[in-house]
Amino acid sequence: MNIEKHILYWRTGSDEDWEMAEIALANGKIRHGLFFLHLAMEKLIKAHVSQVTQDVPPKIHNLLTLMQRANLPINQTTGARLAELNI
């Protein structure tokens, strides 16, 4: 397994979804913008999970759980914002 390819896959997908979130939000499509924002964040965190664990990230969508898997610190503000995106 080539972990670097997995990391690149997740980062590229994150960049593309972030761009779509910006476009949607700029056009007043809040629901769609938030959806793509969640996808972008999920993929970025999954890239970090892959880097830290040297394995494929789990097939889950919960941002807080992914942050824990990546051993990333979660302060109260970050936790609250990620929890909102999970909804």
Could you tell me how far CA 16 lies from the centroid of its own chain? 12
Q: Would the pLDDT of 86 be above 90?
A: no
What's the pTM?
Answer: 0.92
> Tokens representing 25?
């939000």
Is the distance from CB of 54 to CB of 71 less than 8 angstroms?
no
**What are 30-77's pLDDT values in tens digits?**
999 999 999 999 999 999 999 999 999 999 999 999 999 999 999 999
Domain chopping of the chain, boundaries? 3-86
pLDDT of residue 1: 78
